[in-house]
Structure 1
Amino acid sequence: MNFAFVTVLLVFITLLGIALRRSYFSSRFSIEYITTNLVNEIIWAIIPAILLHAFAILVVEATTSYQVLLENIGYLVVGGNDKERVPPIFQNIHAHIAPILTYNIGLTVFGILVGTGARSFVRGLSLDTLPYFSFLRFPNTWHYWFTGEYLNTERGWKYHKNIDFIMVDVLTNIGEGIIYSGILEDYYLSRTSGGLDRIIIKYPSKKTFSATGETHFREIPGNYLSIPYDNILNINIQYYEFNGAAENTQDDSQPSVEIIEP
């Protein structure tokens, strides 16, 4: 039995864990934005795969007449090549191909649901932003900065919900140095480096500097400005919160704005 077959068999066994892991890392937390490879993915997927397979095997053997022959699976994994033992194993697989496929497809779907449910649970309660649950934190650190969720670690559970909008000042390496300012609208991650690819700001303005030390400020026509990360030297972030609202129509009171300091 060759190495390629053993590799395929291991991938097949850990497919459940891979499906769970990829469903957990989705949306802004996609696994595509994490520097990884097939070996690392298998290592991170094999533990939940083994646990779920063990649970599923117990359920199958307790509720049906089928029995999972783990010794045969182990023999194939270690690369056994006994010509008298290998053919009966594959004959047994062929004879039960339908229930085997049903078992694996059903368990993979279950793994996807578990991964999605776990992510929804963690994100819904903002557990990944709390200090004592830091092990649940996703690798996408930009998300925590650009949503203000990192404030939860200092201000309390779901404190970032108080933030109404986020202002950014982006220092770039364009010309003598240009600072672009505006409301943070969105950001995109690089699929190759795993870092920030670009940010989008709303109602942009810019401040330029001359060799004589003079500064020039002007608004930029247009609603949005896209700034590639390759041109960014530094980013200043300010979180704003509206306090109160103009509820009395007989006066000219207006809601005030408070800068939330990190």
Structure 2
Amino acid sequence: MNIAFTTVLLFIILAPGFLARIAYNSSKLSVADSNRNLVNELTWSIIPALTLHIIFVAIIQNATRYSVDFVQLGNLVLGTSQNADARFAQLNDYKYAIFFYNLILFKTSFVAGYLLRKMVRFFKLDRKFRYFRFSNKWHYIFSGECLDFPDVPDEYEEITNKIINVLCKVNGRTVLYTGEYFNYYVDGKGDLEAVHLKYPIRRYLENDKAGDEDYYVISSRYLMIPNSDIININFKYINFEEVDEAELSEEEKDNAIQLSE
């Protein structure tokens, strides 16, 4: 029995964990890690793969007429050549059962990874515990979910609007772009690629004491700024709350924003 067969067999055994990880990381919340390769992914897949196999084997052993011959499985994994013909003949007798076992297991693994991601997001485990945090750090910053991190005193639920100031270098001049957050883009390594603003305005930064009249309203609803032009970014997480004017103090009335109907 050659090493190629053993390699394929090990890959099939670990594939459920690999598929579960693919489903778990298949969203904008995750970015590719350039330091990981197929071997790393399969290594990280051992625990979920074994967990899924244990569950499925328990079901097979207790709910069907089939059973798993662990002695034969061990011999196949180790690649021992003794009685190899007899073992392969036995595999041939149960080839359809083995095929459907793996097919159902693979599909279940993918769904399990997807549901686990949904559960982590629903219960906000990625905000509460660093271990569950996804690899795309920009998602938490641009969405404002970073405010729910344990060491941050604010709360994400209080955000009703997000204003972004983007300081850029354009044609040798420093320009400040301001607008509502619309979207952001990252490359395959997880580095910021561009920022997308809504209702953008800009002004040059030569006079840092400039007033609102120095802002130029860009005649476009959206503006995309490439990261290559960006010096730094300032985030303003705003909470607009509708209140009764009679309940406000004089100082609060001066700071309140009135919206016309």
Do they superpose with TM above 0.5? yes
Structure 2 residue 226 is the aligned partner of structure 1 residue 228: yes
Q: Which whole-Å CA distance do the structure 1 matches of 2:245 and 2:116 have between them? A: 41
What are the ranges of 5 or more consecutive residues in structure 2 without an aligned counterpart? Answer: 247-252
Q: Which residue of 2 aligns with 1:148?
A: 144
Q: Which whole-Å CA distance do the structure 2 matches of 1:195 and 1:5 have between them? A: 40
> Using a 3 Å threshold, how does the CA distance of structure 1 residues 214 and 136 change in structure 2: closer, same or farther?
closer
> Using a 3 Å threshold, how does the CA distance of structure 1 residues 2 and 177 change in structure 2: closer, same or farther?
farther
**Would the aligned equivalents of 1:244 and 1:256 in 2 still touch at CA under 8 Å?**
no
SS in 1 for 2:112: helix
SS in 2 for 1:177: strand
What is the CA-CA distance between 1:10 and the residue it aligns to? 2.1
Which segment is superposed worse, 84-93 or 144-153? 84-93
TM-score, scaled to structure 2: 0.82
Task: Give the counterpart letter for 2:84 in structure 1.
Answer: V
Superposed CA deviations along residues 157-212 of structure 1, whole A, max 9, x for unmatched, are xx312211111111223323322221110112212x222222211111222346x9
**Would the aligned equivalents of 1:16 and 1:111 in 2 still touch at CA under 8 Å?**
yes
> Using a 3 Å threshold, how does the CA distance of structure 1 residues 195 and 2 change in structure 2: closer, same or farther?
farther
Task: Give the counterpart letter for 1:66 in structure 2.
Answer: Y
Q: Which residue of 2 aligns with 1:106?
A: 104
Task: Give the counterpart letter for 1:199 in structure 2.
Answer: V
Structure 2 residue 149 is the aligned partner of structure 1 residue 182: no
Q: Which residue of 1 aligns with 2:32?
A: 33
Task: Give the counterpart letter for 2:194 in structure 1.
Answer: R
What is the CA-CA distance between 1:59 and the residue it aligns to? 1.5
**Would the aligned equivalents of 1:33 and 1:195 in 2 still touch at CA under 8 Å?**
no
Q: Which whole-Å CA distance do the structure 2 matches of 1:124 and 1:207 have between them? A: 41
**Would the aligned equivalents of 1:243 and 1:256 in 2 still touch at CA under 8 Å?**
no
Q: Which residue of 1 aligns with 2:49?
A: 49
Tell me the C-alpha RMSD between the 2 structures: 2.7
Q: Which whole-Å CA distance do the structure 2 matches of 1:42 and 1:217 have between them? A: 54
What is the CA-CA distance between 1:214 and the residue it aligns to? 9.9
Task: Give the counterpart letter for 2:102 in structure 1.
Answer: N
> Using a 3 Å threshold, how does the CA distance of structure 1 residues 147 and 96 change in structure 2: closer, same or farther?
same
What is the CA-CA distance between 1:220 and the residue it aligns to? 1.6
Q: Which residue of 2 aligns with 1:260?
A: none
What is the CA-CA distance between 1:213 and the residue it aligns to? 8.7
After the TM superposition, which residues 90-239 of structure 1 pair with which residues of structure 2 at under 5 Å, given as runs?
90-130=88-128, 133-153=129-149, 154-155=152-153, 159-174=155-170, 175-191=172-188, 193-209=189-205, 217-239=215-237
Q: Which whole-Å CA distance do the structure 1 matches of 2:42 and 2:115 have between them? A: 21
TM-score, scaled to structure 1: 0.82
What are the ranges of 5 or more consecutive residues in structure 1 without an aligned counterpart? Answer: 258-262
What is the CA-CA distance between 1:73 and the residue it aligns to? 2.8
> Using a 3 Å threshold, how does the CA distance of structure 1 residues 233 and 3 change in structure 2: closer, same or farther?
farther
Q: Which whole-Å CA distance do the structure 2 matches of 1:177 and 1:60 have between them? A: 67
What is the CA-CA distance between 1:51 and the residue it aligns to? 1.5
> Using a 3 Å threshold, how does the CA distance of structure 1 residues 151 and 107 change in structure 2: closer, same or farther?
same
Task: Give the counterpart letter for 1:8 in structure 2.
Answer: V
**Which of 214, 237, 240 matches 2:238?**
240
**How many residues end up aligned between the 2 structures?**
243
Task: Give the counterpart letter for 2:187 in structure 1.
Answer: S
What is the CA-CA distance between 1:21 and the residue it aligns to? 1.1
